[in-house]
Amino acid sequence: MIKQAIIPLAGLGTRLLPLTSVFAKELLPINGKPGIEYILDECIEAGVNEIIFIISKKKEMIKKYFHNDKFYKSLIKNKKDPRIIKEYKKILKYKKKIKFVYQNTPLGTGDAVLRTKKFIKNDYFLMLLPDDLIMKKNCSKDMIKLHKKYKVSIMASMRVNKKNVNRWGIYSLSKKLDKDNFIISDVIEKPSTNEAPSNNAVIGRYILNKKIFKFLKKQKKGKGGEIHITDSIKAMIENKFIFIGHKFLGKYLDCGSMNGYIKSTLEISKL
């Protein structure tokens, strides 16, 4: 049963400067709604009932945003605006489900995941990366369904342009399970075009076995001096853990780069 999700939110957001110089990128509006709310809606709709946010001191405005129910309540007292009442209820719903843990030094996604170790209750949990929005089809829900069938780890996958493989984790595929799912035989973080075994990229939805924490504890720094989740996944695959790559069906929006962020508002407004 996948009932918990984790969301790393301590990143500096340098790809979105200057917007992120004083503001958390996950709160930036995408078509009138903070990006993080799309991610929350996806995992709540997929049946998750506890979401662990990994933030940092610098990103405390995220905590403030979800703990601002008293402010809404005081506004509603004087003015019964239905829109504000709706927002108030939404914030309360989110607040009840979110827990916060801290990663004050940005040491990478792998290190962020390790911070959640003592909170994870079941054998498997979901991770969503907030830069990656997937619209129209609930990718987390589809992956949870797949997990129920195979009881192994799963990562979302999408074909990318060969020229851009160095922006992603890239898979080697072995067996095809069906037209949308395959067994992963290796994964490499941000390879050069020559090193890349394919153009199948890791997109930010993961169902992970909690044994990953053992691997993360031993994980050495990789590309760019960061501890990458991809490197621990690679080590798990080498140790015979099974990972499925899932070609998701929804519309992908890359909100972690300036071009992608600008486009995502336009795309969502068309949906």
For residue 200, the minimal CB distance to ligand G1P (Å) is 10
The minimum distance between CB 206 and ligand G1P, in angstroms, equals 9
Stretch that binds ligand G1P, among 33-41, 60-68, 78-86, 129-137 (CB under 6 A): 129-137
> Residue 231, interface with ligand G1P (CB under 6 A)?
no
Looking at beta carbons only, is 72 or 254 nearer to ligand G1P?
A: 254
Determine the residue with CB nearest ligand G1P.
169
Segment near ligand G1P (CB under 6 A); pick from 25-33, 85-93, 125-133, 239-247: 125-133
| Smallest distance, ligand G1P to C-beta of residue 224, A | 9
Nearer to ligand G1P, 91 or 208 (CB): 208
Q: Which of residues 34, 169, 245, 260 is near ligand G1P by CB under 6 A?
A: 169
Chosen residue from 42, 132, 142, 231 binding ligand G1P by CB under 6 A: 132
Residues 82 to 111 in contact with ligand G1P, rule: CB under 6 A: 109
Strand duo 132-135 + 29-30: pairing: unpaired
3-state SS of the chain is: CCCEEEEECCCCCHHHCCCCCCCCHHHCEECCEEHHHHHHHHHHHCCCCEEEEEECHHHHHHHHHHCCHHHHHHHHHHCCCHHHHHHHHHHHHHHHHEEEEECCCCCCHHHHHHCCHHHCCCCEEEEECCCEEEECCCHHHHHHHHHHHHCCEEEEEEECCHHHHHHCEEEEEEEEEECCEEEEEEEEECCCCCCCCCCEEEEEEEEEECCHHHHHHHCCCCHHHCCCHHHHHHHHHHCCCCEEEEECCCEEEECCCHHHHHHHHHHHHHC
Q: Is 228 in the site for ligand G1P (CB under 6 A)?
A: yes
Q: Which is nearer to ligand G1P, 5 or 202 (CB)?
A: 202
Judge whether 67 and 21 are in contact, CB under 8 Å.
Answer: no
Site string for ligand G1P, 180-219 (x = CB under 6 A): ---------x-----------xxxx---------------
Which residue, 91 or 190, is less far from ligand G1P as judged by CB? 190
Contacts of 135 (CB under 8 A, 6+ apart): 38, 250, 251, 253, 267, 268, 271
Q: Which is nearer to ligand G1P, 35 or 169 (CB)?
A: 169
Nearer to ligand G1P, 10 or 129 (CB): 129
Distance between CA atoms of residues 104 and 106, nearest Å: 6
* 157 lies in the binding site for ligand G1P (CB under 6 A): no
Residues at the contact surface with ligand G1P, assessed by CB under 6 A: 109, 129, 131-132, 168-169, 189, 201-204, 228, 230, 256
